[in-house]
Amino acid sequence: MAVRESFHSKLQLLKQQLLEMGERVQIVLDEMKHAFSSSNIRAMEEIIHRDEEINQLEQDVHDQVILLISRQQPVATDLRQLIVALKISGDLERVADLIADIAKQSKRLKKNSLLPYQVKIIAMLTIAQEMIQKALMAFRNTDILQAQKIATMDDKVDHLYGEFIRDLFQLVDHEIEIDQVTQLAFIGRYIERIADYATNIAEWVVYEVNGKHFDLN
């Protein structure tokens, strides 16, 4: 009995460790939105450098999961919780990579270049930011209903991204600088992928509860 109690205590610590990683990703994402809004190059450079910190957090979660599996040989629900921790940490690490990619592309943008499209980027970023927050809240509370709502938000990001790309590439020649259009297109794609990873996290919440893979998209 004491062994099981110790194991479940370690599971809770692992979940807290993962939630702290999620909080770090949310902070960086919020900083990226503000850096983009203000064309703050120094802040963008700091965001790029901090990606390695989140990579290390993902590795720490990975190592802890492998250790618990090797020592405890869990089955059923306990094993699902460990698998979910492994998967969500990977998704969060990829979100952090995409945030760093957004920072790299944003450094190449001119402050007022295609300003209406930069405003649309902020709108997409805001929704993606909310999706990550809600997905992690669903994970914290093991809330399937909250997780399922993420799909609707993902649809909205997909729709905005589709409109954004169509409008961007319909600009007439005298209105554009090709390199600026290219940077914005990449940034839009990275945000769309962040929304996808938020949906992945929500799907892992569903899997943790019922043991079935469910495609929220």
Residue 52 lies in a domain: yes
Least confident range from 81-95, 159-173, 191-205: namely: 159-173
Tell me how far apart the alpha carbons of residues 138 and 205 are, in angstroms, rounded to a whole number.
Answer: 7
Task: Please name the amino acid found at residue 59.
Answer: Q
**Average of pLDDT values for 204-217?**
83
Residue 16 lies in a domain: yes
pLDDT (0 to 100) of residue 34: 96
pLDDT (0 to 100) of residue 82: 93
pLDDT (0 to 100) of residue 172: 59
**Average of pLDDT values for 182-209?**
95
Residue 187 lies in a domain: yes
Tell me how far apart the alpha carbons of residues 85 and 207 are, in angstroms, rounded to a whole number.
Answer: 11
Place of tokens 């962040």: 194
**Average of pLDDT values for 145-154?**
91
Tell me how far apart the alpha carbons of residues 34 and 50 are, in angstroms, rounded to a whole number.
Answer: 16
Tell me how far apart the alpha carbons of residues 126 and 129 are, in angstroms, rounded to a whole number.
Answer: 5
Per DSSP, helices labelled H in the chain are: 2-38, 41-72, 76-106, 115-141, 144-168, 178-210
pLDDT digits (tens, 9 = 90+) for 45-104: 999 999 999 999 999 999 999 999 888 778 788 889 999 999 999 999 999 999 999 999
pLDDT digits (tens, 9 = 90+) for 118-132: 999 999 999 999 999
Under the banding of pLDDT at 50, 70 and 90, the label for residue 188 is: very high
Buried b or exposed e, range 115-150, using 16+ CB within 10 angstroms: eebbebbeebbebbbebbbbbbebbeeebeebbbeb
- Residues in contact with 51: Cβ distance below 8 Å, sequence separation at least 6, in sequence order: 96, 97, 99, 100
Task: Answer yes or no: are the C-beta atoms of 181 and 120 closer than 8 Å.
Answer: no
pLDDT (0 to 100) of residue 4: 62
pLDDT digits (tens, 9 = 90+) for 139-148: 999 999 999 8
**Rounded alpha-carbon distances, angstroms, from residue 116 to 108, 111, 169:** 17, 12, 14
Residue 215 lies in a domain: no
Identify which of 58, 183, 55 has the alpha carbon closest to the alpha carbon of residue 114.
Answer: 183
- Domain CATH code at residue 151: 1.20.58.220
Res. 178: pLDDT tops 80:
yes
**Rounded alpha-carbon distances, angstroms, from residue 213 to 5, 78, 80, 177, 178:** 28, 17, 11, 44, 42
Residues of the domain holding 82: 2-210
Q: What is the dihedral of CA 3, 7, 8, 12, to 10 degrees?
A: 150
Residue 216 lies in a domain: no
Provide, rounded to the nearest whole percent, the portion of the chain with pLDDT above 70: 94
Domain count, the chain: 1
**Rounded alpha-carbon distances, angstroms, from residue 28 to 53, 98, 108, 109, 186:** 11, 11, 19, 20, 19
Res. 176: pLDDT tops 90:
no
pLDDT (0 to 100) of residue 119: 92
Residue 171 lies in a domain: yes
pTM of the model: 0.93
